[in-house]
Amino acid sequence: MDEKSALIVDDSAAARAALARMLRGHGLAVAEAVSAEDALEYLARHRPDVVFMDHMMPGMNGFEAVKVIKADAELATVPVVMYTSRSGEVYVGQARALGALDVLPKEVKPADLYRILRTLNLVPERREPPPPDAASAAVDAPPPATPAPEQVARATAAALELPAHLARLQEAVGLQLAALRHELRDHHRRLLTELHNAETSGKERRRGRRPLWPGLFLGAAALLLLALDAYWTHALYRASHRPQLAAAAVAPTPRPDRDVAPARAARRQAAPAPASGDRTALLDALQWALNRNGAFAYDRRALGDDQLRVLRGLIMRLRAARFRGTVRLTVHFAPFCLARNADGSLRPAPPATPVSACAQIGYARPHSADLAADQSLEFAAFLSGSPLLSGSGIRVQTRVAGDPDAPADDPALQAAQTAGEWNHIARRRNRIVYRIIPEGRPAARAQSAPVTAGAADR
């Protein structure tokens, strides 16, 4: 029998450890991820039997991750349980509407966790466990005492008398209800006769017709009596069939949760795609939002871990939207006003330094066409073989724009008098520009350094 497994996605090490301990107690193998992005990379290579997803995490939150998982035809059947401190009917409804199976509070109760695992058939049906010392107590305990004959006789008589008692009770209730029905019918007949006489005589009272509230009151009383009749009949039925009802309540009910997910995924795949014009407008809006905050500091790598988080989140959202095409990152290295240190190295000049006294206008270090020196190891690994890019139809390209050591022709830079003014403008020009190019759309290529391709191009 294959070992069952679970994935816990939470940025809190304490929350992961607490849930992992309980899951291992149920015999499940546990994997952990500290973010939604790490979880999606794990799911690209593994298929756990259940995912416990936190809601609030850095980067992509839990609801966004559930959308990505359920939008992927290969991952849609993986059950996801929100593992969060949030609660309430509204939150539970939102989670289930996105495709989550259930919500598990952070203060995990063993009964709640067992119920979820039992729903997914990940644990066997639980029997009432014996007390910890039941085995030793069973050895030392004396044999149970045999009941006295008088006790057996009384119990037998009570059992034989119960059906007769129920029959008498039902008969008494039936007689009372029959008498009430008869009285109501008589009163109702008299009321109809009076109304008929009033109408045929043509007499009307000065303040309108006779009020109808007595009839309404009697109708409501009749409905109440019928309800009481149904209640007593149901109560007598349950009292006489209690053993059968208890046995039926214990029987497990099949849960079709796993059968629903494929159908839901099929419906999503059959959903109509947005119009071409709307899709282009949405991509342009996404481009604009990304490029609003693309600046990076002079002493930071252009393609470091901060940009990796942005790029990874963008790829996941594009995959969820079934986008196919190219994501191009163009790195603009702005010319800075630099001063020379005592050891000969360069740094941004002090703000009061005149621009004419700058030792160099440009960057202290050269930039290769493939941006190898300006990438973190994690960024380079993502481009070379991330599961998010593999088979997604999305290509990532990086390139350098312009020559940072060339004389600046920006009018704003030409007007700067001091290094402080110059470098303030250069920090805003020192940026990364995203371009999202759908498959089939012609992309104008500005003159720049050669383009370096990501994993999906290889």
- Sheet containing strand 431-438, edge to edge, reads 431-438, 325-332, 394-401, 452-453
Q: What is the pLDDT of residue 378?
A: 81
Q: What is the pLDDT of residue 137?
A: 46
> Residue ranges of the alpha helices (H) in 44-148?
62-71, 89-98, 110-119, 134-140
pLDDT digits (tens, 9 = 90+) for 38-86: 999 999 999 999 999 999 999 999 999 999 999 998 899 999 999 998 8
- CATH architecture type of domain 5-127: 3-Layer(aba) Sandwich (3.40)
Average pLDDT over residues 392-404: 81
Q: What is the pLDDT of residue 179?
A: 62
* 62-to-8, 22, 42, 191, 238 alpha-carbon distances in Å: 12, 21, 15, 66, 45
Phi first, then psi: what are they for 442, rounded to 5°?
-65, 135
Residue 371: pLDDT band (50, 70, 90) is confident
Q: What is the pLDDT of residue 326?
A: 92
Tell me the C-alpha distance between 309 and 102, whole Å. Answer: 29
pLDDT digits (tens, 9 = 90+) for 320-362: 888 899 999 898 888 889 999 988 888 899 999 998 899 888 8
Average pLDDT over residues 358-384: 78
Q: What is the pLDDT of residue 44?
A: 92
In DSSP terms, 351 is beta-bridged to none
If you compute the radius of gyration of the chain from its CA atoms, what whole number of angstroms results?
38
Q: Comparing C-alpha atoms, which of 349, 345, 340, 362 is closest to residue 420?
A: 349
pLDDT digits (tens, 9 = 90+) for 171-202: 555 656 666 666 677 766 777 777 777 666 66
Q: Is the pLDDT of residue 124 over 50?
A: yes
**Which pair of structure tokens corresponds to residue 454?**
């990501």
Average pLDDT over residues 262-278: 57
The residue written with tokens 């000969």 in the block is 344
- The angle formed by the CA atoms of residues 446, 451 and 454, to the nearest 5 degrees, is 135
Residue 458: pLDDT band (50, 70, 90) is very low
Tell me the C-alpha distance between 175 and 193, whole Å. Answer: 27
**Which pair of structure tokens corresponds to residue 30?**
């546990």
Q: Which of 287-296, 372-381, 441-450 has the highest mean pLDDT?
A: 287-296
CA dihedral 242, 247, 249, 255 (to 10 degrees): -160
Work out the widest C-alpha separation in the chain, in whole angstroms.
122
Average pLDDT over residues 112-120: 93
The residue written with tokens 């029905």 in the block is 181
Q: Which helix (H) or strand (E) holds 367?
A: none
Tell me the C-alpha distance between 445 and 426, whole Å. Answer: 24
pLDDT digits (tens, 9 = 90+) for 421-433: 888 988 888 889 9
Q: Would you kindly state where each structural domain of the chain is located, as residue ranges?
A: 5-127, 150-201+210-250, 274-457
Q: Is the pLDDT of residue 151 over 50?
A: yes
Give the contacts of 29 (CB within 8 A, at least 6 positions apart): 3, 4, 5, 6
> Among residues of the chain, what percentage have pLDDT more than 90?
28
Tell me the C-alpha distance between 20 and 389, whole Å. Answer: 30
Average pLDDT over residues 130-145: 51
Q: Is the pLDDT of residue 253 over 70?
A: no
CA dihedral 50, 96, 76, 307 (to 10 degrees): -90
pTM of the model: 0.43
Tell me the C-alpha distance between 359 and 338, whole Å. Answer: 6
Q: Across the chain, what does the average pLDDT equal?
A: 76
Q: Comparing C-alpha atoms, which of 42, 124, 97 is closest to residue 52?
A: 42
* 319-to-68, 70, 337 alpha-carbon distances in Å: 8, 12, 42
